[in-house]
């Protein structure tokens, strides 16, 4: 069972995400989040799908795409690190990912389906990691990080954006 990582297991800028995740089994947390996020995303009204809460901010669909892309990247990092790969993994520029995908052509339902597929795939990975795999340390974005911390970052990043969805996109 993967429990909350120590602050030494991730770069300080991830602290805002990790702190949002409740204590307990991270696989159970990610499983519960799946249903909550799908319900929230599928309830987004059509007229809010391309909404931007301020000039220069991402649209609702772009924010959803960002959550999906970030989960993929963090899970890839977790896989490599859990398997003992010590190759330093590069960072990524989130705005480039948004700029190079036309999220406006997608439907909310399609984005929810993609999120579901990505999360279910990651849950299969995480359910079968050993205690030692969770504690493996690698390097990502020039900082040490554990596989366990990456799972918590995935969960916290999602919680962070769910709050933004409620407060800024749907308000």
Question: Rounded CA gap, 134 and 143, in Å?
Answer: 17
Q: What residues have CB less than 8 Å from 93, skipping those under 6 apart? A: none
In a domain, 2, yes or no: no
Is residue 162 domain-resident? Answer: yes
Residue 2 has pLDDT above 80, yes or no: no
Q: How many domains does the chain contain in total?
A: 1
Residue 12 counted as domain residue: no
pLDDT at 50: 97
* Region 66-82 average pLDDT: 98
Question: Model confidence over 37-65: pLDDT tens digits?
Answer: 999 999 999 999 999 999 999 999 999 99
Work out the pLDDT band at 1, boundaries 50, 70, 90: low
Judged by DSSP in three states, 83 sits in: coil
Mean pLDDT in residue range 65-94: 98
pLDDT at 3: 86
Structural domain boundaries, residue 145: 24-49+57-169
Q: Which DSSP helix (H) or strand (E) runs through 140?
A: strand 137-140
- Tens digit of pLDDT for each residue in 127-171? 999 999 999 999 999 999 999 999 999 999 999 999 999 999 998
CATH (domain of 61): 1.20.120.450
pLDDT at 6 over 90: yes
- Position 96 in a domain: yes
Kindly provide the residue ranges of all beta strands, DSSP E only, lying in 15-160, ordered along the sequence.
137-140, 143-146
The confidence score (pLDDT) of residue 121 equals: 98
C-alpha distance from residue 166 to each of 7, 57, 127, 160 (Å): 28, 15, 30, 10
Q: Does 9 fall in a domain?
A: no
Asked if pLDDT for residue 86 goes beyond 80, the answer is yes
pLDDT for residue 87 is more than 90: yes
164 contact partners, CB below 8 Å, separation of at least 6: 63
Nearest to 2 by CA among 78, 77, 76: 78
Within a domain: 14: no
Let me know if residue 136 belongs to a domain: yes
Please count the other Cβ atoms lying within 10 Å of the Cβ belonging to residue 76: 15
| 5 part of a folded domain | no
The pTM (predicted TM-score) of the whole model is: 0.97
Q: Tens digits of per-residue pLDDT, 9-26?
A: 999 999 999 999 999 999
Mean per-residue pLDDT of the chain: 97
């Amino acid at each position: 069972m993967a429990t909350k990582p120590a602050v030494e297991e991730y770069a300080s800028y991830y602290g805002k995400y990790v702190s949002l995740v409740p204590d307990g089994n991270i696989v159970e947390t990610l499983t519960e989040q799946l249903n909550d996020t799908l319900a929230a995303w599928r309830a987004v009204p059509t007229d809010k799908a391309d909404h931007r809460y301020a000039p220069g901010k991402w649209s609702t669909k772009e924010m959803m795409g960002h959550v999906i892309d970030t989960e993929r990247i963090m899970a890839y990092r977790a896989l490599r690190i859990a398997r003992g790969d010590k190759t330093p993994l590069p960072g990524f520029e989130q705005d480039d990912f948004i700029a190079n995908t036309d999220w406006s052509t997608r439907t909310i339902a399609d984005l929810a389906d993609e999120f579901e597929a990505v999360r279910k795939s990651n849950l299969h990975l995480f359910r079968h990691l050993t205690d030692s795999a969770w504690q493996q340390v690698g390097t990502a974005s020039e900082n040490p990080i554990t596989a366990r911390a990456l799972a918590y970052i995935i969960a916290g990043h999602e919680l962070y954006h769910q709050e933004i969805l409620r407060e800024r996109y749907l308000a």
